[in-house]
Amino acid sequence: MRNFSVAAAQMGPIQKNDSRETVISRMIELMDQAQKEGADFIVYPELALTTFFPRYYMEDQNDVDFWFETDMPSKKTNPLFEHAKSLGMAMSFGYAELTPEGRHFNTSIHVDKTGSIVGKYRKVHLPGHTEFDPKRTHQHLEKRYFEPGDLGFPVYRTLDGIFGLCICNDRRWPETYRVMGLQGVEMITLGYNTPSTNSQKSTEGPEKRMFHSSLVMQAGAYQNSTWVIGVAKAGIEDGHPLFGGSVIVNPDGEIVAQASTDGDELLVHSCDLDDTVFGKKTMFDFVRHRQIKHYTRITSQVGVELPKDL
């Protein structure tokens, strides 16, 4: 058995005026609670240090860069790293990264029990748009403030297993899970900030949006025989509702823990990485069953193209 306890640390809203110090204090409180409940590893949401700032249209680059971290750990985030190290707890969280070269990414990291960063991922599937759109009920400007991730979907070894990261919209793309699945991933951690309503006045309500969120994570877990830890930021953030529904999904695609509130909430569950073995070797034996000669369209084509005989 390769067993440990994971804490999915859903966070309630982070308002625009909340300081980094205030947010870090909340994250430490959740970490202390997780430690009391026996957790070895705590997972926080996407952009865990700030409000979801891509909802705001900004032209001044200084206003944009305010939301980004140039170092990790930084002076303001170092207390979180030190506290985790003192508890011997691994952690994962998302933040806005500004590189020394001036590049902007929506990033997530995995920090081991010694305080060292062992995994890093930059969001590949950026939703939204680049310019202000008056037809939308709220803006979603990730394409304006971030560039697509340049690290691919790497996996890394820690906690006696093989781990991977993805962020928010990535969870809706089967390629995300499959690329990591082909590298033997046993646990995928992902954070998200998802509005309860569609910005383009869709009739899709929060219940259906949450259903779709869980559906894709369950499918990704089952089809690649991996644990999936999906952690939300939730509640009314600067007047904009985000849905929660944080989940822990086992390698059979079953939800074994799910959040029930829109605030700070902790889900703690014991996960055995050996539970991935049966599905990888029996149900989805990639070596025996994959037929890659029929999959070339996936990597050679972007949009929909009808066959010429249709």
User: Which residue in the block uniquely carries the two structure tokens 């790497």?
Assistant: 154
Let me know: does 118 contact 112? Beta carbons within 8 Å.
Answer: yes
254: annotated active-site residue: no
Q: How far apart are CA 47 and CA 136, in angstroms?
A: 22
Catalytic residue among 46, 186, 237, 265: 46
Q: How far apart are CA 135 and CA 199, in angstroms?
A: 9
76: annotated active-site residue: no
User: What Å distances lie between residue 135 and 3, 45, 140, 224, CA to CA?
Assistant: 49, 29, 12, 39
201: annotated active-site residue: no
Q: How far apart are CA 291 and CA 195, in angstroms?
A: 38
Could you give the residue ranges of the DSSP H alpha helices within 13-67? 20-36, 61-65
Q: How far apart are CA 73 and CA 288, in angstroms?
A: 44
3-state secondary structure (DSSP) of residue 65: helix
Q: How far apart are CA 305 and CA 232, in angstroms?
A: 35
Catalytic residue among 97, 142, 166, 168: 168
Catalytic residue among 123, 142, 186, 271: 123
Q: How far apart are CA 231 and CA 44, in angstroms?
A: 6
Looking at this protein, which amino acid is placed at residue 45? P
Active site residues: 46, 123, 168
